[in-house]
Amino acid sequence: MARILLTGATGFLGKHLFRHFEKMGHEVFGTANRAQVDAPIFYCDIRDQLAVEDIFHRVQPEIVIHCAAISSVTSSAAQDYYRVNTVGTENMIHATLALPHQARFMFISTAGVYGNQDTDLLHEALCPKPVHHYGMSKFCAERVLMNHAERINYTIIRPFNIIGESQSGEFIMPKLVNAFHDRLPDVYLGNINVFRDYIDIYDACNLIAKLTFNPAAIGEVCNLCTGRPVSIQELLGILTEITGHEIGVQVNPALVRKNEVWRLLGDVVKLEALTQGPINGLRLEDSLRRMLAAKANV
């Protein structure tokens, strides 16, 4: 079993990954950006190189899974994206390289690096064209990591839209689930003519674990997706069928992004090759039912 350090361990993906690797029998330690945490999760500001080095010295990880990031695409503090997502990642890389042993490094990037492309199916060989600071800061971090390709056993993972219970309400899926659960008459959205590739949190954790322990994934960039496009209208239809509630959709101009990525659909070919099987994920309806049930139990 491996000794794992997982950054962002109290975030949406991080806390699910933490439990997933623990259930696999690994010794898991985590970092969080708030002080009210208990071991084996430690407070660490990844912008602070000395703080990062101290955590690495204490944990001595064999595997580093770097999830910590500013993940919203709507923040107005542009410089924070680069301080956390790019410089923070560089601090993690240098601390990994300073270990007395060679550690595995899993970097959770984003499909947001692709931006708007000339093809509907986004594959890893495309030249990234990020359209917001979140995607750009993650792409910068990818390039920093690639600069150390000869010295570090990395894999870059580009998740598309991961969904599941306990996800922040600022994202589209929990926002819709909350609105239908509360039986609101209307929901206010931004651009509604968009298509996204949604993957369930439990499937995401399982696939990340498979990539982590597959030597063939070292040095690779890999999508984390299902390959299926889903529209806002389809989401509304599924939620209406599950709840029996119809909801009005109002466009809020304040939520409309001028640099919107209209169609975000991942190519699963490399993912299926590196995880050695087809992506047999949960149905979207099953994920939504679980999210609604979790909301009801709060």
Of the residues 134, 154, 188, 202, only one is catalytic, namely: 134
pLDDT at 198: 95
Give the whole-angstrom CA distance, residue 223 versus residue 268: 7
Give the whole-angstrom CA distance, residue 199 versus residue 8: 20
DSSP letter for each residue of 223-268: EES-S--EEHHHHHHHHHHHH----EEEE-GGG--TT---B-EE--
pLDDT at 189: 87
Exposed, middle or buried by CB within 10 Å (0-12, 13-18, 19+), for 259? Answer: exposed
User: Which residues touch 100 (CB under 8 Å, ≥6 apart)?
Assistant: 60
DSSP letter for each residue of 161-206: EEE-TT--TTSHHHHHHHHHHTT-SEEEES--S-EE-EEEHHHHHH
**Is the model's pTM score more than 0.95?**
no
pLDDT at 75: 65
Q: What is the mean pLDDT of each run of 10 residues along the chain (298 residues)?
A: 97 97 98 86 96 97 97 79 97 98 97 91 96 95 96 97 87 92 92 89 97 98 96 93 94 74 89 91 91 84
Our CA dihedral for 202, 208, 212, 218, rounded to 10 degrees, sits at 170
Whether 5 contacts 29, CB under 8 Å: yes
pLDDT at 128: 96
Give the whole-angstrom CA distance, residue 214 versus residue 124: 18
pLDDT in tens, 14-27: 999 999 999 999 99
pLDDT at 298: 62
Which tokens in the block code for residue 210? 């498979």
Whether 6 contacts 162, CB under 8 Å: no
Tokens 């498979």 correspond to: 210
| DSSP symbol at 128 | P
Give the whole-angstrom CA distance, residue 84 versus residue 69: 6
Beta-carbon count within 10 A of 44 CB: 25
Whether 291 contacts 175, CB under 8 Å: no
Give the whole-angstrom CA distance, residue 206 versus residue 208: 6
| DSSP symbol at 112 | G
pLDDT at 76: 62
CATH superfamily of 3-163+200-225+265-281: NAD(P)-binding Rossmann-like Domain (3.40.50.720)
Give the whole-angstrom CA distance, residue 267 versus residue 227: 6
- 134 tagged catalytic: yes
